[in-house]
Amino acid sequence: MEIETKSLRTACADLNGQMRGKRLPASQAAMLEYAGQRMPLSALSLDIWGRDVEDSPLVFASGDADGQLRCTERGPVLMPWLDQPATLIPMWMYCEDGQPFQADPRHALASVLKRFDRKGWKVVAGTEIEFTLVDNRTGKLAPVHAPGVGRPLFAGEITGVAEMDRFAAFFDDLYDGAEAMGLRPLAASSEGGVGQFEVSLQHGPAMRTADDTWLFKTLVRGMARKHGMAATFLAKPFDGDAGNGLHVHFSITDSKGRNLFDNGVMTGTALLHHAVAGLISGMPGATLIFAPHAPSYDRFAPYSHAPTGASWGYENRTTAIRIPGGANAHRRIEHRMAGSDTNPYLVMAAILGAAFMGLEDELTPPEPIMGNAYGQRVLMIPTDWDEAIARWESSPKMARIFPGLLIDMLQRLKRQEQRLCQGLSPERLALETFETV
Task: Give pLDDT tens digits for 259-294.
Answer: 999 999 999 999 999 999 999 999 999 999 999 999
> Looking at 42-46, 141-145, 181-185, which range is the least confident one?
141-145
Q: Is pLDDT of 61 > 70? A: no
Q: Is pLDDT of 103 > 80? A: yes
Domains in the chain, ordered, with CATH? 7-102 (3.10.20.70), 112-433 (3.30.590.10)
Task: Give pLDDT tens digits for 393-429.
Answer: 999 999 999 999 999 999 999 999 999 988 777 777 7
Mean pLDDT of the chain: 92
pLDDT level of residue 62 (50, 70, 90 thresholds): low
Task: Give pLDDT tens digits for 377-388.
Answer: 898 999 999 999
Helix (H), strand (E), coil (C) string for the chain: CCCCCCEEEEEEECCCCCEEEEEEEHHHHHHHHHHCEEEEHHHHHCCCCCCCCCCCHHHHHCCCCEEEEEECCCCCEECCCCCCCEEEEEEEEECCCCCECCCCHHHHHHHHHHHHHHCCCEEEEEEEEEEEEEECCCCCCEECECCCCCCECCCCCCCCHHHHHHCHHHHHHHHHHHHHHCCCEEEEEECCCCCEEEEEEEEEEHHHHHHHHHHHHHHHHHHHHHCCCEEECCCCCCCCCCCCEEEEEEEEECCCCCECCCCCCCCCCHHHHHHHHHHHHHHHHHHHHHCCCHHHHHHCCCCCCCCCEECEEECCCCCCEEECCCCHHHCCEEECCCECCCCHHHHHHHHHHHHHHHHHHCCCCCCCCCCCCCCCCCEECCCCHHHHHHHHHHCHHHHHHCCHHHHHHHHHHHHHHHHHHCCCCHHHHHHHHCCCC
Residue 60 is predicted with a pLDDT of 66
Angle between helices 404-421 and 385-394 (to 10 degrees): 160
Measure the CA–CA gap between 415 and 421, rounded to whole angstroms.
Answer: 10
Q: What percent of the chain has pLDDT over 90?
A: 75
Residue 154 is predicted with a pLDDT of 67
Q: Is 219 within 8 Å of 177 (Cβ atoms)?
A: yes
Task: Give pLDDT tens digits for 108-122.
Answer: 999 999 999 999 999
DSSP β-bridge partners for residue 188: 199
Q: What percent of the chain has pLDDT over 70?
A: 97
